[in-house]
Chain A
Amino acid sequence: MGEVKALVCFFKKYYHIKLNFRGVNVEKQKNQTIVDRIWNSFSSITLAVVFFTLISLTSMIGTVIEQNAEPEKNLKVIGKLFGESLAPTLYNIFERLGFMDMYHSWWFVTLLLLFAANLVICSIDRLPKIWKLVKEPINPLSEEHFKGVGIKREIVLRGKTEKVRGVVGTAIKNAGFNFSEAKEANGYQLYSQKGSYSRLGVYITHFSILVILLGAIIGIFFGFKGFLNLPEGAISSVAYYRSGIEQPLGFSIRCDNFLVDFYGGSDMPKAYKSWLTIIKDGKEVIKKTIEVNDPLTYEGITFYQSSYGMVPDAQGIFMLKAISKDGKRETINLKHNESFTIPGTSITGKIINFSPALGMDQTGRPFTYADMMNNPAIYIEFSEGGKQKYAGWLLKRYPETWALPDGHIVEFMDYWGIEYTGLQVRKDPGVWVVYLGCITISIGLFIAFFVSHRRLWVRLIEDKNGTRVTVGATANKNRQAFERKIDKIIALLSKSQGGGK
């Protein structure tokens, strides 16, 4: 307890200084009552609102200035907004202030931390009062308090108080309220409450924000975010930071293959796939095909499919499958300008040309329309006994181009080793803390907005004609719904007990 008090005291002092620093009018002397007054006043909520506003307004700037971009891009943006002549000067000012990577700048992080501190202080300040309200058992209501409650109803039921007490009790119980009873001068009072814990919803929500921030901090200090461009067939035991610094992985990763799938005959990508193998101590431990939205995790490090490209000046391997007319098959791997033989025949094929994206222009002439492997094609010349037989383009995406005129088939499987897969590599031990915070914030918000603290008092007093039933009730949220519920109970009661039975 001592530590908590000390902590509170520290925060109060800190808060006091902060308010002073922010130019709020506070007397210089550290008078306890003034500190208390500040502590108890609403200023912390006001301050929270000030932080909402400050964080929002500054955040906007970072959505206009592209973050971590090349200077030219933002010079253009600033030039457009404020005029070309001012752009370089303004750019320098913005850069000095950290706006080019503003969400990681010292002042923005400070703003977030101050916001967190404010949240902590607000919670410490209000929690005891609310806790008391939550824990406080409900008591019978006195005569004059009955007049002041929000929802009031009154009916007279036939029958002795004793009997009515049983009927009303059952009705309340059926409505989901466990009640207590008190004997009063001319009868009884039944009282009950539900959902008092709902007053904690706000605190669960606020606490969750702190948990999420904590998770983010854990991620910053104990995790890393890097990338790795891995050509097909290559192995790496490190990833790279944006700055180019290496980050050892503790194991090796190999890219066995990379592929872009397209929709039908279009150039709309359907899937980016990388076949990855994890190698630890010389042994292959995991093989997985990753896609966007389906990463691979090993030893806390996750590999995400994020980009791809062509390896410059790479010499790849053409992977073909030759099937002769009479069904003899052979898998063939060869390089550019190398030759192969169709099994069981003396026909040889030689790869003369390659296009990563073969298209046809209006005159029907083939040409390459993209740098990426959108529509890989090889041009093969076939000859028999030194004489050229036929030649043509074989397209990987179009099996109908694989059939040769005399019934043989040459399948173009892949041109392997010239693409690389771009992997985002991340380790973030804080992500589970963030997710925990996300779960609790959902629970907190649900409780805060949709669960209501309902209190119900029912007084039964002996009357000439039977028993007078006075209902008093309060609800801190959605009062109408509670009113309707009470009216329903009363309607049921008067139906069973009100008529001339």
Chain B
Amino acid sequence: MSSSILFGISTMAYILAMIIYIAYLAFRKSQVGITATTVTVVGFVSQTMAIILRWKEFYEIGQMGILRAAPLTNLYESLIFFVWCLILGYLIIEFKYKNRSFGAFITPVAGLALAFIDISGMSKDIQPLVPALQSNWLLAHVIMSFIGYATFAISFSTGLMYLIQTTDKRNEPSYIFWTVTTGIFIIILLAMGIDYLSFRVAIRSPEMLIKSYLFKASFFSQSSLVSALSWLVSLAFIFMLWRYGYVLKRIMSAFSISPDTLDEVTYKSIAIGFPVFTLGGLIFGAIWADQAWGVYWSWDPKETWSLITWFVYAFYLHSRLMRGWKGKKVAIVAVVGFVAVIFTYLGVNLLLSGLHAYGSIG
């Protein structure tokens, strides 16, 4: 079996699992929950096998050491690995806390990441390594960065769950924050999906999608009617989310998952992610840059954005541990932190230029 078939199976399994987890949240039948977990595990196993197979394929064509042939060298492979880390982290949490309702919040992040691969039309080909990426630091730097990203993604999900569960007044800032943030998030993804469907023939790379076609089928459409309609529908959607978002709280509170547990998982994920990200993302990255380019820190956009991400999580830790901030305030910081992570990971590569523009290093 080839790696791409296995990747296909895992993608379908995760998307299926996401639906079953949400169904579980709605119906609360334990059989449904067990099915969701089983489907997730099947997806995880086939994804693991797919990664190993791709590693082998890469090793065979790449003419280089096995450690350098890790399939972590372009956007597609890194997203796959991110999803793998995230699902692994989720399964650990499900096992530790014996609670499946996290699933409905974490599998969508995985599903969205996988959907993004197809929506943006990024290349799935195995490409040989450009000279700059031929380093043993690649493996350590990328693996640890993504473990960090995955733990931050978990803290984002649990932080959001916390906010949903503890707010219900529509004039409360934290309530407005989570409904609007979630709304914008969903709208951006939907708009990108529409872009993809409208221009799928013309789009050849995610850079191209974002630089030339982003929102051209909706907000920035040539037709002012479509554009106006998009804005209107989006605002209406956010308004509806704000108006009826508290319904989610009712659904959630039917589960025996206390806000304190959510707060704890959020903190613990960050407490693991922060040191791992510092070491693997910032320090190993700096050492590698020093070896390859002779500058351990050059303020290129990727570096700067990882520093910003680092500061946001440092903010979280200091406000929680030193200032005694608890609950909603720090949950908001955790959600904001993941927005910074997404920008560090995807935004910089797709919107800004710099050393990390995959493959264009000369």
Chain A residues within 8 Å of B, Cβ to Cβ: 42, 45-46, 48-49, 52-53, 55-56, 59-60, 62-64, 66-67, 103, 216, 225, 263, 268-272, 291-295, 302, 304-307, 424-426, 431, 434-435, 438, 441-442, 445-446, 448-450
Other A-B pairs beyond A445-B274, A449-B272, A450-B275, 16, CB < 8 Å: A45-B322, A49-B318, A53-B311, A268-B128, A268-B130, A270-B128, A293-B131, A294-B291, A304-B292, A305-B131, A424-B295, A425-B294, A431-B296, A438-B287, A442-B279, A442-B283
Interface contact A293-B132, CB-CB below 8 Å:
yes
Q: Which of B128, B301, B308, B319 contacts A49 (CB 8 A)?
A: B319
Q: Cα distance A55–B309 when bound, in Å?
A: 12
CA distance A276 to B117 in the complex (A): 43
Q: List 26 A-B contacts (CB under 8 A).
A: A45-B322, A46-B323, A49-B323, A52-B312, A53-B311, A56-B311, A60-B304, A62-B299, A63-B352, A64-B352, A263-B128, A268-B130, A270-B128, A271-B134, A293-B132, A293-B291, A295-B291, A305-B131, A424-B293, A425-B294, A431-B290, A434-B296, A435-B287, A448-B275, A449-B272, A449-B275
B299-339 residues at the A interface, CB under 8 angstroms = 299, 301, 304-305, 307-308, 311-312, 314-315, 318-319, 322-323
Q: Which of B275, B292, B295, B352 contacts A293 (CB under 8 A)?
A: B292
Q: How far is the CB of B83 from chain A (nearest CB, A)?
A: 25
Residue of A with least CB distance to B64: A270
CB nearest neighbor in A for B264:
A480
- Docked-complex contact B305 and A63, CB < 8 angstroms: yes
The 6 closest A-B pairs by CB, nearest first: A445-B275, A63-B301, A304-B294, A292-B131, A103-B299, A426-B294
A270 touches B294 (CB 8 A): no
Q: How far is the CA of A434 from the CA of B308 in the complex (A)?
A: 20
Question: B287 contacts A52, CB within 8 Å?
Answer: no
A442 to B293, CA, bound (A): 23
- B271 contacts chain A at the CB level, 8 A cutoff: yes
Task: Pick the residue among B131, B314, B318 that contacts A271 (CB under 8 A).
Answer: B131
Interface residues of B in 274-289 (CB under 8 A from A): 274-275, 278-279, 283, 286-288
Question: Hey, which chain B residues are within 8 Å of A48, CB to CB?
Answer: 318
B128/A53 in contact, CB under 8 A: no
**Chain A residue with the shortest CB-CB distance to B308:** A56
Chain A nearest Cβ from B313, distance in angstroms: 10
Interface flag for B223 (CB, 8 Å): no
Q: Are B294 and A302 in contact (CB under 8 A)?
A: yes
Q: Which residues of B contact A (CB under 8 A)?
A: 63, 127-128, 130-132, 134-135, 271-272, 274-275, 278-279, 283, 286-288, 290-297, 299, 301, 304-305, 307-308, 311-312, 314-315, 318-319, 322-323, 348, 352-353, 362
In the complex, which of the residues B275, B283, B294, B319 contacts A225, with contact meaning CB atoms closer than 8 Å? B294
State whether A56 touches B312 (Cβ < 8 A).
yes
> Which has the most chain B C-beta neighbours within 10 Å: A302, A438, A446?
A438
Distance of A425 Cα from B292 Cα, bound (Å): 12
Nearest-CB residue, chain B, relative to A102: B299
Complex CA distance for A60 and B63, rounded to whole angstroms: 40
A residues within 8 A CB of B279?
Answer: 442, 445
Question: Which residue of chain B is the closest to A437 with respect to CB atoms?
Answer: B283
- Whether A63 contacts B292 by the Cβ 8 Å rule is no
Q: How far is the CA of A448 from the CA of B299 in the complex (A)?
A: 28
B311 touches A52 (CB 8 A): yes
Q: Is the CB of B352 within 8 A of A59?
A: no
Q: How many A-B residue pairs have CB under 8 A?
A: 112
Contacts of A450 in B (CB 8 A): 275
In the assembled complex, which residues on chain A have CB atoms less than 8 Å from the CB atom of B275? 442, 445-446, 448-450
Query: Chain A contacts of B290 at CB under 8 A?
Result: 431
Closest Cβ neighbor of A122 among chain B residues:
B322
Bound CA span A292–B315, Å: 37
CA distance A434 to B287 in the complex (A): 10
Report B112 CB to chain A, min CB distance, Å: 24
Kindly provide the distance from the CB of B155 to the nearest chain A CB, expressed in whole angstroms: 14
- On chain B, the residues within 8 Å of A42 by CB distance are 322-323
A291 with B131: in contact, given A304-B293, A449-B271 (CB under 8 Å)? yes
Q: Are A45 and B323 in contact (CB under 8 A)?
A: yes
A59/B308 in contact, CB under 8 A: yes
A306: chain B residues at CB < 8 Å are 293-294
Q: Which residues of chain A are within 8 angstroms of B127 by Cβ–Cβ distance? A: 268
Cα A305 to Cα B315 with chains together (Å): 38
Question: Are A55 and B311 neighbours in the complex by a CB distance under 8 Å?
Answer: yes
Q: How far is the CA of A425 from the CA of B274 in the complex (A)?
A: 34
Tell whether A270 pairs with B131 under 8 Å between CB atoms, given A49-B315, A449-B272: yes
Instruction: Determine which of A55, A67, A305, A426 lies in contact with B295 in the assembled complex, contact meaning CB atoms within 8 Å.
Output: A426
User: Which residues of the partner chain A approach B294 to less than 8 Å between Cβ atoms?
Assistant: 225, 295, 302, 304, 306, 424-426
Residues of B contacting A45 with CB < 8 Å?
Answer: 318, 322-323
- B292/A216 in contact, CB under 8 A: no
In the complex, what's the smallest C-beta–C-beta distance from B339 to chain A, in angstroms? 12
Chain A proximity of B245: nearest CB distance (Å): 28
Most buried by A among B279, B294, B311, B348: B294
Contacts of B308 in A (CB 8 A): 56, 59-60
Contacts of A269 in B (CB 8 A): 130-131, 362
Specify which chain A residues have a CB less than 8 angstroms from the CB of B132 in the assembled complex. 292-293
Asked if A62 meets B315 with Cβ closer than 8 Å, knowing A268-B130, A293-B132, A438-B283, the reply is no
B residues near A263, Cβ cutoff 8 Å: 63, 128
Listed residue (A52, A64, A450) with the most chain B CB atoms within 10 angstroms of its CB: A52
B319 & A63 in contact (Cβ 8 Å cutoff): no
Contacts of B297 in A (CB 8 A): 216
CB-nearest residue of chain A relative to B279? Answer: A442
Closest-by-CB residue of B relative to A266 is B128
- Docked pose: A302 CA to B290 CA in angstroms: 10
A302 to B278, CA, bound (A): 26
Q: Roughly how many angstroms separate A295 CA and B134 CA in the complex, as a whole number?
A: 13
B318 partner residues in chain A, CB cutoff 8 A: 45, 48-49, 52
Residues of A within 8 A of B278 (CB): 441-442, 445
CA distance A302 to B292 in the complex (A): 11
Interchain CA distance A216-B290 in the complex, whole Å: 13
Cβ distance A235 to chain B, nearest Cβ, rounded Å: 21
Task: Tell me which residues across on chain A come within 8 A of B287, comparing CB atoms.
Answer: 435, 438
A residues in contact with B322, CB < 8 Å: 42, 45
A59 touches B272 (CB 8 A): no
Given known A306-B293, A438-B287, contact A66–B134 (CB-CB < 8 A):
no
**Separation of A279 and B131 alpha carbons in the complex (Å):** 28
Question: When chains A and B are docked, how far (Å) is the Cα of A441 from the Cα of B280?
Answer: 12
A63 and B348 contact, CB distance less than 8 A? yes
CB distance from B163 to the nearest CB of A (A): 21
Residues from chain B with a CB closer than 8 A to the CB of A449 are 271-272, 274-275
Cα separation A307 to B312 with both chains bound (whole Å): 36
Give the distance in Å from the alpha carbon of A434 to the alpha carbon of B283 in the complex: 10
A125–B283 alpha-carbon span in the complex (Å): 28
Nearest-neighbor residue (CB-CB) of A273 within chain B: B131
In the complex, A291 Cα to B296 Cα: how many Å? Answer: 18
